[in-house]
Amino acid sequence: MRRMSTPHGVGIGWRPEISGFVAGLPGLRFVEVIAESVPTAGPAPHELVELRDRGVAVVPHGVRLSLGSAEPVDPDRVAHLAAVAQLLAAPLVSEHIAFVRAGGLEAGHLLPLPRTHEAIDAVCANISRAQADLPVPIALEPIAALFDWPDDDLDEAAFLTEILERTSALLLLDVANVYANARNRGTDPLALLDRLPLERVAYLHVAGGAEGGGFYHDTHADPIGQEVLELLTEVCARHRPPAVLLERDGRYPPAAELRAELDAVATACGFPEVT
């Protein structure tokens, strides 16, 4: 199976609920699928195969590797991610700078790492273990965190930059996460962008969110706010990435609204529309 080209332009997260909508986008160049949702014992979902075969890059996005765990990354989980990448002829895979398990317990949620040198050592070791068994490059996504650990001794820019400098991994920068973290911490998102190695960005994420309980939540189930779109424009003005992907994971709007949101993302980055 030939490899698809590196993702470029505007893409959307593939979900079964909107598979028909996604298949009908004439200018679509790439999609992202949750890696753990793809079985490897048999053929891939036919909708993904059809996208792949028409030249749409399909990127497996992992949520369970737990790269930030103190214990070594689970080889079975790495093997599954590698198998999905091969099945879909993926140009790369992506995962989170986070942990989901510790001491044999599963959190069921992406949890933030303490921003310490010890945590950097652990996550870099696990990235290296994963890279050794993956057939394609990996891009790392910093998460939206509702809390910071009290023993942090690095800020987010220094923490992320050191991880990228010590590995050959790429960066998956989620603009909605940058906005959410800055809003909840009371910091300036542009100050973070100015210190990140944006030349390492493989692609961007963008999604909607909402206020709740005194926090801004990256919900993936609400429309993208104007402030997030403006931040997306700021990112692309600093170093235009090859691609940006819209994430939507619930409360799917009518097709016309989803098309308008994709067009707004394209406009914010100066990419051709996919609709």
Q: Measured between alpha carbons, how far is 206 from 176 in angstroms, rounded to an integer?
A: 5
Is the pLDDT at 93 greater than 90, yes or no?
yes
Q: Measured between alpha carbons, how far is 272 from 51 in angstroms, rounded to an integer?
A: 19
Which of 252, 247, 217 has its CA nearest to residue 63?
247
pLDDT value of residue 233: 98
Strand-pair partners of 13: 32
Which of 2, 37, 7 has its CA nearest to residue 19?
37
Q: What is the mean pLDDT of residues 31-39?
A: 97
pLDDT value of residue 83: 97
178 in the Ramachandran plot: left (φ > 0), alpha (ψ -120 to 50) or beta? alpha
Q: Measured between alpha carbons, how far is 160 from 170 in angstroms, rounded to an integer?
A: 11
238 three-class SS: helix
The pLDDT tens digits for 177-214 are 999 999 999 999 999 999 999 999 999 999 999 999 99
Which of 211, 197, 128 has its CA nearest to residue 167?
128
CATH, range 9-269: 3.20.20.150
pLDDT value of residue 108: 87
Is the pLDDT at 5 greater than 70, yes or no?
no
216 three-class SS: strand
Task: Please tell me what DSSP assigns to residue 274.
Answer: -
Tokens of 80: 């599954």
Is the pLDDT at 235 greater than 90, yes or no?
yes
pLDDT value of residue 1: 38
| Residues contacting 41, CB < 8 A, separation 6+ | none
